Structure 1
Amino acid sequence: MMVTAPGKAPVGEVPRSSGTRLVDRVFRMRELAIATVFLVMIAVTQARNSAFLSEQGVKDLLLNATILVLVATGQSLVVITRNVDLSVGSTLGISAFAAGVHLQGGGNPVVAVLLAVLTGVGSGLLNGLLVSVGQVPALVVTLGTLYIIRGIDSLWVGARQITAADLPGGFVDFGSDGISAVPWPALIALAVLVATAYHLKHYGSGRELYALGSHPEAARLAGIPVRRRILAAYTFCGALAGLAGALYLARFGNVDSGTGTGYELTVVSAVVVGGVVFTGGSGSVYGAALGALLLTSVNSVLPALGVSSVWVLAINGILLLLAISADRIVAVRVAAALKKRNARHG
């Protein structure tokens, strides 16, 4: 089975099949389609509400997407390996509170962010070890750790709540300040996104994630360290969920025991809508980021158009169903292309 990572195949790799090339073209088209839908949606909203794309409006749009883009970037690596991490919402919540407790006690903001990232790394390592070494299905593992982490978070937090008044002013300001309409957290998310995409395209360890997701047994026979790659994907996903928790704290200045509840479903939706195939082996982090941007923008667009926010969940569900249907259509077309190719070559 061929690696479906974007970009040119390395020297010595078997030439890409017509089916693989078809997958790449379709998913590039999907990313273009998402970007087009997003731009049209923004243009229509701006035409109806001229204040929508003001400097503050653009800043709010980017800030709303930043947290989801970060977590979706990490989740996309896990999904590419044909796994999933349902504990990212709980990890985000407990990481945000860990950072908040440190800052509440007069701690250094940089140390608080590192503490949040390390908390996420611990969660990712636990998930990765259970899935890769323990050979337990990812859905079962991460559903279990979702509740375990949430339970620990609830016991630790209790009825307490960290507010902006408990945090250093500079840390809270960082969550909304930036360069003109572009906030600092959005720039951090963009840097992480570009670095991750570059690694997936130009490094063997990144391309191997696609090979693993395309065909785990073939990847193992080809000498790819399957367990190590799965562990790395989960650890990276946990680290980004921890970083997202720190930025969540800076953005909202408010953390309690319910922070991040249900967030994992939004993250999975963003990844799938963005073209990362849930059965692994295809998609890109740029697509996942576009999916996150589209889903979060719906939350801003509907109120600006005077539409009730109750439609947000329905629209997200429709987008998810459309994405899954598109994946099915791609699978059928690829199977047909490969069958035709094999028939031509006997």
Structure 2
Amino acid sequence: MSRTDTTAPERTGSGPLRQRRSLAARLLAVRELSLLIALGVLILVTTVRNDRFLTGQSVKDLLLGCAILVILAVGQTLVIITRNVDLSVGSILGLVAFGTGELFLAAPGTPWPLALLLGVALGGLCGMVNGGLIAVAKVPALVITLGTLYAFRGIDYYWASGRQINAADMPRSFLRLGNQAVLGVPVLFLVALAVVGAVGFHLRSYRSGRELYAIGSEPTAARLSGIPVGRRVFTVFVANGALAGLAGVLYAARFGTLDAAAGTGLELQVVAAAVVGGVAIFGGSGSAYGAALGAVLLTTIGSALAVLRIDPFWQQAVVGALILAAIGLDRLLALRTATRLRGRSTHGA
């Protein structure tokens, strides 16, 4: 028996699937445009209150501050689209960051590109642990990654044994990577943009990327249509781990001083950035570009509140309100989309 061709609806150019994708594309465009407008309004209001907010150094600091969160949010997007979540990314980042410092202590002459590759590989290995446990144990990703969050952090604490690695212990060429700029744009932010572009292009243009949306929309239907659901989910966890590893190496280059607590609590900011950026927590919808905008928006909110001398408590309150609003909007848009599709189907009949 031949395998079902999941691309058939795309070739015919008709049917409910095409309608659903067209509606989803328009809704995503609206979400991303609304994020840009909100970001612009926030910057404008803050600049009016304090004209130093948009100085060259302030913009550079803002881009540096959001670069690592952007990379993590894009990796988390791959996972959430498939109706899963990875709570261990902060621990993976911390483990890789400390491991990078240890590498330079043990072998001071190590070229930083090699350290970068090793960090990505270590992060990918952690992602393989997550994906393998989820595939074998058939346990929800929330439970597995909550466990590995503590397991990876425990390994990090055992490895560090209370020690701290300082910037003086690492090569200057590596530390320059964390602060160097090209035409005024930090290198870390350029790396983040490259990650966003690569992941966004893959999700939009490749069959394996489109299949992730099918898995998140309806896993059973995706499996029946011939999509290798288990393999795709395993792959996105490995990719997410690798991106967390990349973020860990960049974290080491950015801050220099490392201990076992690096990245603690970051996983909640990552999920928040993805959800605020329009990635549906229920799976099947979202984009890397929206997640990146969500990360930039959350970072800008933190910087703006500090500039305006507003209590940090309100930053957490605003982020919480944004998450609730994003989830509510996702449900509203999903209901409206389903209603419109049913209306078209009835009219066509």
The two structures have a TM-score, normalised by structure 2, of 0.93
Deviations 1:57-100 (A, max 9, x none): 11101001000000111110010111111100000000001111
- Structure 2 partner of 1:161: 164
Would you say 1:57 and 2:58 are equivalent positions? yes
> Aligned equivalents of 1:13 and 1:219: distance in 2?
19
Contact 2:10-2:18 within 8 A present in 1 as well: no
- Structure 1 partner of 2:117: 114
Change (3 A) 1:13 1:129: farther
- Structure 1 partner of 2:240: 237
Contact 1:102-1:112 within 8 A present in 2 as well: yes
- Structure 2 partner of 1:191: 194
User: Structure 1: where are the runs of 5+ without partners?
Assistant: 1-8
Q: Which residue, 300, 316, 319 being the options, matches 1:316?
A: 319
Identity rate, percent: 50
> Aligned equivalents of 1:233 and 1:213: distance in 2?
12
Contact 2:77-2:291 within 8 A present in 1 as well: yes
> Aligned equivalents of 1:143 and 1:87: distance in 2?
7
Query: Which structure has the highest helix share of the two?
Result: 2
- Structure 2 partner of 1:251: 254
CA displacement at 1:190 relative to structure 2: 0.5
Deviations 1:294-321 (A, max 9, x none): 0011111111122222221111111111
- Structure 2 partner of 1:104: 105
* 1:189 alignment partner AA: A
Equivalent residues in 2 for 1:7-156, closer than 5 Å: 10-12=10-12, 15=15, 16=17, 18-105=19-106, 106=108, 107-156=110-159
Deviations 1:27-65 (A, max 9, x none): 221111011110111122222222221211111010010
CA displacement at 1:20 relative to structure 2: 4.4
Contact 2:73-2:273 within 8 A present in 1 as well: yes
* 2:60 alignment partner AA: K
The two structures have a TM-score, normalised by structure 1, of 0.94
* 1:47 alignment partner AA: V
Deviations 1:243-290 (A, max 9, x none): 000001111112111111111110000000000111111110000000
- Structure 2 partner of 1:273: 276
What secondary structure does 1:310 align onto? helix
> Aligned equivalents of 2:304 and 2:161: distance in 1?
35
- Structure 2 partner of 1:228: 231
What secondary structure does 1:154 align onto? helix
Deviates further, 17-26 or 83-92? 17-26
> Aligned equivalents of 2:337 and 2:297: distance in 1?
27
> Aligned equivalents of 1:69 and 1:30: distance in 2?
17
Deviates further, 129-138 or 277-286? 129-138
CA displacement at 1:219 relative to structure 2: 1.1
- Structure 2 partner of 1:204: 207
- Structure 2 partner of 1:307: 310
What secondary structure does 2:137 align onto? coil
Contact 1:18-1:337 within 8 A present in 2 as well: no
Contact 1:99-1:116 within 8 A present in 2 as well: yes
> Aligned equivalents of 1:18 and 1:224: distance in 2?
21
Contact 1:120-1:241 within 8 A present in 2 as well: yes
CA displacement at 1:292 relative to structure 2: 0.4
Contact 1:55-1:180 within 8 A present in 2 as well: no
> Aligned equivalents of 1:304 and 1:288: distance in 2?
24
When the two chains are superposed, the root-mean-square deviation of aligned CA atoms in Å is 1.5
User: Structure 2: where are the runs of 5+ without partners?
Assistant: 1-8
* 1:255 alignment partner AA: L
> Aligned equivalents of 1:181 and 1:319: distance in 2?
31
> Aligned equivalents of 1:209 and 1:182: distance in 2?
33
* 1:43 alignment partner AA: L
> Aligned equivalents of 2:206 and 2:346: distance in 1?
35
> Aligned equivalents of 1:116 and 1:289: distance in 2?
22
